[in-house]
Amino acid sequence: MDFEAFVLAASTADLDDEPRAREHADAVEFRMDLAADPLGQLAGYDGELPLLVTNRVQAEGGEASDNTERLEKLESALEYPHVEAVDVELDAVREGEGERIVGAARERDLPVVVSTHDFDSTPDSERLRSLLAAAAEHGDVGKLAVTAVTADDVLDLFRATWELTCRGSTVATMAMGEAGRHSRAVAPLYGSRIGYAPVDPADATAPGQYDLVTLAGLLDALDPDGARRQRPDPSDTTF
């Protein structure tokens, strides 16, 4: 999976959704923590879209318990041929247990998304940059999802996204909640490399998500010539 180009991921816990996602998505984010028999689903998957797998811990918006078994399942998922990327939390990497996922992915030449989520607020500008830089340092993509209350929160996130991108980091950012909903369509214009959307609106996995068809349409309307798929020039440090 190549994150040099923007990737629109259809988020799901049911890989049977993949055929409905093909027209609009570039990949499927498979939420193992929400899935019934996730390894069984991976074993039976024969879809066309590549898979980005994650087994999200409860503290970061998932349903998986924070234990060794969670990471063992995530590591096992890397063995399946359609899995082309993995997402593991920044805290898990910093605490050491997540390093096994990073190492296992590196052995298979799979890109790693290192993610962190704030479901309460948007950190101040300095903290935003620090978190995003740390995530990008540990992974091939640094992902940061925050909760926006005001327009200033969203602007701060866009600025951090743009600045880190211009420094050469590969990042994915979004502001959760109604105040930040538009960021899911606009953030790619500032360098964000991944967008997430459920195939079915009822299956949203984070506050403020658009459904897949809506987000794909917004992305195309905002960027009909595909500029969002191009990395900004690192020499351009303006906002």
Domain containing residue 19: CATH number: 3.20.20.70
Look up tokens 């993610």; give the residue: 115
| Res. 237: pLDDT tops 80 | no
* 236 has pLDDT over 70: no
What are the residues facing 143 on neighbouring strands?
Answer: 115, 172
pTM of model > 0.75: yes
Percentage with pLDDT > 90 across the chain: 85
Query: Does the residue 235 lie in any domain?
Result: no
pLDDT tens, residue by residue, 11-49: 999 999 999 999 999 999 999 999 999 999 999 999 999
pLDDT of 231 higher than 70: no
SS3 for 208? coil
The answer to whether residue 117 is catalytic is: yes
Rounded Cα gap, residues 154 and 2, in angstroms: 26
Q: Is 51 domain-assigned?
A: yes
pLDDT of 234 higher than 70: no
Report which of 177, 178, 171, 179 is spatially closest to residue 195, judged by C-alpha positions.
171
The total number of structural domains that make up the chain:
1
pLDDT tens digits along 117-152:
999 999 999 999 999 999 999 999 999 999 999 999
Query: What mean pLDDT is predicted for residues 207-215?
Result: 91
Per the domain annotation, does 188 fall within a domain? yes
The contacts found for 25-31 with CB under 8 angstroms, 24 or more apart, are 25/49, 25/197, 25/212, 25/216, 27/1, 27/51, 27/52, 27/84, 27/85, 28/52, 29/53, 29/54, 29/87, 29/196, 30/54, 30/77, 31/56, 31/62, 31/205
Q: Which of 73, 117, 138, 182 is catalytic?
A: 117
Tokens of residue 230, six digits: 């191009």
* Residue found by looking up tokens 């984070």 in the block: 206
The reply to whether 143 belongs to the active site is yes
Decide: 166 and 234 in contact? Cβ < 8 Å. yes
Higher pLDDT, 232 or 197: 197
Query: What is the rounded distance in angstroms from the CA atom of residue 176 to the CA atom of residue 162?
Result: 18
Q: Is residue 131 part of a domain?
A: no
Residue 20 lies in a domain: yes
Residue-level pLDDT at 206: 76
pLDDT at 67: 77
Band of pLDDT at residue 223, cut at 50, 70 and 90 = confident
Q: Is 122 part of a structural domain of the chain?
A: no
Cα–Cα nearest to 172, from 96, 237, 114:
114
The tens digit of pLDDT for each residue in 176-209 reads 999 999 999 999 999 999 999 999 888 877 778 8
Domain span including residue 16: 7-113+180-229
Q: Is residue 85 part of a domain?
A: yes
- Number of CB atoms found within 10 A of residue 202's CB: 7
- For the chain, give the mean pLDDT: 92
Q: Is the pLDDT of residue 229 over 60?
A: no
Q: What is the pLDDT of residue 203?
A: 82
Q: Residue 54 in contact with residue 86, Cβ under 8 Å?
A: yes
Domain contains 16: yes
